[in-house]
Every structure is written in C-alpha cells, then in structure tokens.
Amino acid sequence: MAELISMTVGDLLDHQAEQVGQEEAVVYPELGLRWTYREFQALCNQAAKGLMKLGLKKGHHLSIWATNQPEWLITQFATGKMGAVLITVNTNYRTRELEYLLRQSDTETLILMEQVRGVSFVDMLMEICPELETCSPGHLNSKRLPRLKNVILLGERRYPGMFLWKDIIEMGQEVSDEELRKRQGSLSPDDVINMQYTSGTTGFPKGVMLTHHNIVNNARNIAECMKLTSADRLCIPVPFFHCFGCVLGTLACVSVGATMVPLTMFDAGTVLKAVEQEKCTGLHGVPTMFISELNHPDFAHTDFSSLRTGIMAGSNCPIEVMRKVTQQMGIRELTIAYGQTESSPVITQTRTNDPIEIRVSTVGRKLPHTEVKIIDPKTGETVPPGVQGELCTRGYHVMKGYYKMPEATREVIDEEGWLHTGDLAVCDEQGYFRITGRLKDMIIRGGENIYPREIEEFIYTHPKVLDVQIVGVPDEKYGEIPVAFVRKKEGEELSAEDVINYCVGKIAKYKIPVQVIFVEEYPMTASGKIQKYKLREQYVKEFSPDR
C-alpha cells in the first residue's frame, strides 16, 4: 500500500527527475516530441519563471483553454512549482460558459489555443473582451471580466492584447533559478493548486478546489491499483481538462516515473498507431473511446502485444466491450475507476487481478487511506451490505471546497468531513461497490457529465419558452443523451429546430438536446415536484428510436 506523502506537485516532478532523469517522461507521437524527465523538468522550470516574471503570485488564478497540447502539460507542472492555481477549461465551452467560468473563478491569466475543430477560441474571447483590440499585452481592462489582465496564446500569429507562449518562455530568463526555488519552497501541500468546474443539480458550475495533497496522493493510489511503474508507457487520449487526463493520466505517471504518451485530441486511428509505435503498456479511455478503437478499420492490423493495463471510467462499461478490450486488445489488467471531481477524483477502483465479472458489475473497492460508507439518504444511518443508499466518502482525497460557495460546500461535506456524492450505490460483503443510480439527475453522455439544470437555465432565456425540463434518455452509442421537454408560451410559434439553434455556439455541443419534445404539462407529485423519471419513461415509450 502506497503511504500518503506530504509533497507538492512541483516537488514530485523534481523527485522523479532525480530518480529517473534520463528516462522518457513525455512522448507526443503526432508532434515528434520526446522529453526525458530532466528535459521536461527544465521546460516546466522555465515556464514557471516566465509566469513569475509576468507577475503571477502564489494563489493567483490561471485558466487554460486548450486541447492536450504540450504547453498544457508544461503549465500543469509549472503552476505546481510557482504556486498559481491551475483552472481547467473544457474545450467544448462556448461564450456563455467561458465568461461565467472566467468571472466566477477570478481568473487573472488565460492561456488559450487559436481554434479547435474550426471553432475560433480567439473570436469567442474577443466577443467577451472587445477591449483586447486596443490594449497592450498584460494591460487588459475588461468591463465584463475585470480580474483578467493577461492573455497568452498558444500559436505563432500575434493578436492585439495577447502574449505568445514563446514570450513567457523568454521572460523566464529574467528570473533566477534561486527565485524559483524560493517560491517553490514556500508552497504547502495543503495549498489549493487545481480548480476544476463541475455542475451539480443547482445550476451553474462550481469551482472544485483541489490541493497538492489531494491530487498527488490520489494519483499515487491510482497508479498502485494499476501496478504502474517507471517501466510503463501510458497512452493518454482523454482530455487533460478532466481529472481523468490530469490526475489519472499525467500525474499518475509522474508519481511513479512512467512515460506519458498523450494525444492532442482523441482519434481512434491515432490511438492505435501510438500504442503500436510507442509500445504502450497502458491505455486510458471512456467506454465510447474503446468502442471506437475496437471498430476502427486499422484495429485488425494493430500490434497490441505491449498493452497490459489502463483505466476505463466515465460511464458504465458493457460486458461485451470489456471482454473485447481484455481479449482482443490484450489489456488483461484493465481497471475500472469511480469517483467525482470533488474527491480528486477516484474513490473506488478495481485491481489488476480482479476477475472480469467484478470489473463489469462493480466499480471496485475503496482506495487505500479512504473511508467509504453507504447511508440511508433519509436517516443518514449506515446501511448493511447489499442495501442501496447514498455513497459517502472521507479522507485525504476530499476537496477543500467549492470556490466562493461555502453554502454549496456545506451541502455536500458534512460536519464530520464526509463527502456526500449524491450517487446511489450498494456494497457487497467483499467490499466491492456497485453504482445503482443517482439522487441527482446528472446525465453521463460518453463520459461527459451533463447537468440538466444548467441547460434548463439557459433555454429558459429563450423569449418563447415557458418551461423546460432536460432529461437523460438511453442511447446505444453514448449511454445517455439529453432530451428537452419544452412548454411554449401561450400563442407563440416555436419549433424544435428553433430551440436547438438557440443553443448552438452558446453552450457546448454535447449539452445541446438531441431532441425537443413539446408538452402541455409535466407529470408532478402531489407536492408539485416534477417527476423526471416519468418523462424518461414517456420518451422510451413514445419517442425512442428503438420503440
């Protein structure tokens, strides 16, 4: 069992550079990049010094809005060294979500890509901050985002009001190694170093504050469950902006000195090529990613002989998919992980020697150094094995809280330090957990968490919408997809296409309802509470493609 350690993210990287300095830390097959641990450490130091020169202090907030670029990875460990809080921004976000996150998080510095899949991040930021057009870099004075001062672009083209990444690296030359050592030495493992935005049932996303201690130890325990060592090479096609990418992926690797093999974006063919070329021993993914890989034309010609382990998480794994992944891809020691951002994120995980039946029917046992209990949601009493209740957890992995939301924090972390997950679960006599449902109505679409209230609040702003309820309905490809049940205002003409078009460009594509169903009323309880499960049943009965 890996003991808990008291170490910052920056110190962890330095420790591995001492231990395995000449071994490969990072390989980007698509970009032809290879860095040893010593080289990666030097790049992170240089970026950390550049951010210090820019004026970032310990505790300042830096957001990054990009796919799995090398600069993302460098920024993760550079902030871990100089103490700025790294805020991860979902690349699917559009103007409304971006503005909310940057404002609520008090972001002072934003690093962004030019564009992703033809969607211009620069244009969206300019729409929110038109003042960029007339300011010099580092001197933004935005009406809508008063805290934002620095914008750093990952690219070569110069835009008004923005630094380029290379400017920051050059600025690092003006800060001494000693100044960085002093800054790094002033950090505490209990400092918040990472903030990820997650919704919940109460509308807009909340900033989950995670400390060095939270994520370093969670990463170590995850690595141990996978039996990950410095001899391993882990292919990471999952996004860094989720804990799956930056804790279960990059940080788990660094915790043992393994090699990270990230892909800038998920593409099944690129994953297959990377696994074969780099002789990867591990592969991460949500079930839909593994399904895409299994069905890719190149699958039959790919050499998977190096693969041993990895993690499948994000949504339930169908047994046939697990069988194919273990037998046809040879990932015999694939593990299943369960958790949430508020728990850094993993709470339970299967082990490499668990039989396949356990891996498809459960989410494993609790991680070392954590407590997990199942309680009756009404009484708060712990229930016996085999009885369903709410899963609660306590330990080193529980977040520090939601940023600037003390009441919301108290709603999920009780006075005894237990985090109430809102997930319904059953624990068997052997300590294996099964997730059986949700107290809240979260939708999991191919590994992406969708919170109905957030979409509802946005669609409510349509002038012709009287009411809207977002419900997750079954889908063969993604597990679940969002559907909108809409009540129109009296006398108004409104089509399903109108509602969907209203969402385009304003909220992430994966959150946009795939179908809009107009209703006169909603099924209600006697106390007037809308029964979403009945809407779900109505959809399956009347509107499902499989009916």
Q: What pLDDT score does 200 carry?
A: 43
Instruction: Report the pLDDT averaged over residues 162-190.
Output: 98
Domain 443-542 listed as CATH 3.50.90.10: no
What is the residue-wise DSSP string for 99-151?
HHHHHHTT-SEEEEESEETTEEHHHHHHHH-GGGGGS-TT----SS-TT--EE
Q: How confident is the model at residue 528 (pLDDT cuts 50, 70, 90)?
A: low
Percentage, residues of the chain above pLDDT 70: 97
Two tokens, residue 61: 């907030």
Q: Report d(CA 51, CA 70) in Å as an integer.
A: 16
Q: What is the residue extent of each domain of the chain?
A: 9-327, 443-542
185 CB neighbour count, 10 Å cutoff: 10
Residue 527 has pLDDT above 90, yes or no: no
* Token reading at 234: 């882990």
Q: Which amino acid is at 29?
A: P
* Whether the Cβ atoms of residue 540 and residue 547 lie closer than 8 Å to each other: yes
What pTM value is reported for the model? 0.86
Contacts for 534-541: CB closer than 8 Å, 24+ residues apart: 535/469, 535/471, 535/485, 536/471, 536/472, 536/473, 539/471, 539/473, 539/483, 540/473, 540/474
Mean pLDDT for all residues in the chain: 94
pLDDT tens per residue, range 383-404:
999 998 999 999 999 999 999 9
Handedness of CA 36, 38, 44, 46 (dihedral sign): negative
For residue 546, the SS3 value is coil
Tokens of 109: 């510095």
pLDDT at 155 over 60: yes
What digits encode the pLDDT tens for the residues 230-264? 999 999 999 999 999 999 999 999 999 999 999 99
- For 204-221, b/e burial (b = at least 16 CB within 10 A) is bbbbbbbbbbbbbbbbbb
Query: What is the three-class DSSP state of 472?
Result: strand
Dist. CA 525–CA 536, nearest whole Å: 15
| DSSP for residue 44 | H
Average pLDDT over residues 313-324: 82
* Torsion of Cα atoms, 188 then 192 then 193 then 195, to 10°: 170
In tens, the pLDDT along 177-205 reads 999 999 999 999 999 999 999 864 345 78
Which among 209-213, 283-287, 536-540 has the top mean pLDDT? 209-213
- At the topology level, CATH places domain 9-327 in Rossmann fold (3.40.50)
Cα–Cα distance, 99 to 423 (Å, whole number): 30
pLDDT single digits (tens) 222-239: 999 999 999 999 999 999
Is residue 454's pLDDT more than 90?
Answer: no
Looking only at the bridges linking them, the beta strands covering 233-236 and 259-262 are parallel
254 close to 355: Cβ distance less than 8 angstroms? no
Whole-number Å distance between alpha carbons of 98 and 65: 9
